[in-house]
Chains A and B, each alone.
Chain A
Amino acid sequence: MSNREAETETKNMNMIEAIRDALDVKMAQDDNVVVFGEDVGYFGGVFRATEGLQAKYGKSRCFDAPISELGIIGAAIGMGAYGLRPVPEIQFADYILPAYDQIASEAARLRYRSSGEFIAPITIRAPTGGGIYGGQTHSQSPEALFTHVAGLKTVIPSNPYDAKGLLISSIEDDDPVIFLEPKRLYNGPFDGHHDKPVTPWSEHQASEVPEGHYTVPLGKAAIAREGTDVTILAYGTMVHVAKCAAEETGIDAEVIDLRTLLPLDEETIENSVKKTGRCIVVHEATKTSGFGAELIAVVQELCMYHLEAPIIRVTGWDTPYPHAQEWDYFPGPGRVGDALRKVMGE
């Protein structure tokens, strides 16, 4: 799935390090890449994703921004129109809404309304998702707000290898990309078993990240676990939850890590569901009008005559993300397992 330029040395990285490495690679390669956002400069970001970049590339390439999301994205659009390739950061995806007008009305439509005369080659990075006792405003998964906007691409990695390759692809892409980073996965994979100690990325194969430049293509899903009984469509943290549920139930589920939500890799989805005849959709975001509804519609359209059971969604509840009730809200392996048994008629 990857386009490595050459066989290079790999290095063990967690997701934060992989993201920082992607920024480093692109900043070294392309003078037009600039990185900015709240606490991104001197301090290196509240999650350390930009640590050392200001010292290495200077304050005009990596700098702190005022606490104004619309200002950050509006500035990035102006920079893109000039010819730069900005990679602004929104500190939490929960706080992207003040910039929604600039993203949906401006960045997404600039190419369309100017017939390609002006473009917005921007990658907006934002930590997303829950499972960290983040409460209402540090846990949300707003991807459906962006997949509904024509002109945007929406990307969510689930491991260090993909995070670096997808981020490099996003930065090189001439269209605006919403790059959502599951903060629950920054330091290690998480299968939803909050009661068990979390293992760091170093014990996981996907933490072997090539040094230097490589890409993971946008718009291409990955098969995270091969299986024959049922297809699970997932992304971000839920990829790990889905794999765990398959192991625990003993149901041979094929787990597809979508990686890019828009444009969606319909081909991989279609092939898998036609093979398994069953499908469940898993995401952390709230259920109603969430991205799962789109996925179900696509599967229904493409695979109707191959389906042996109704498609089931396992998602966050239609409530704001609570604090104390974290593990009753978060769709963990138990709930996914129940759905697997249900779709198998067990």
Chain B
Amino acid sequence: MIRLPLLSTVIKNLFKKPATNPFPKTEPVPVPENFRGKIVYNVDKCVGCRMCVTVCPAGVFVYLPEIRKVALWTGRCVFCKQCVDVCPTNALQMSDEFLLASYDKYDSKFIYVTPEEAEEIKKKQEELKKAKAQAKAKKDQ
């Protein structure tokens, strides 16, 4: 005797609505709280303590000694959130963003602090230093 235990379920299913989310036509399934999406880096808050470089298992960070900041390539990130937990100034945050497909692995959305931006930051820092030095010199006079 053949038993077909699925038969009744399957026939019932035929008259139910599909239990799927037709994504491009609708919003994706909402993310939960504390979802670990793409890293967001705030250059201005970073003090260059290098904690993130130490703790990251995937080698996302490169320390830039001249400007005392870090550069990121999140293409390698494994979303473990260790850098966020360890950063003393909250310069690193996790966002909700998870639709990260790209044609190019060096897409600008994966990179924070490109060499050009590093140059600019360097210039700004130097100007700031000069201004400070001048201010000091004025004071001393």
A and B co-occur in one complex = no
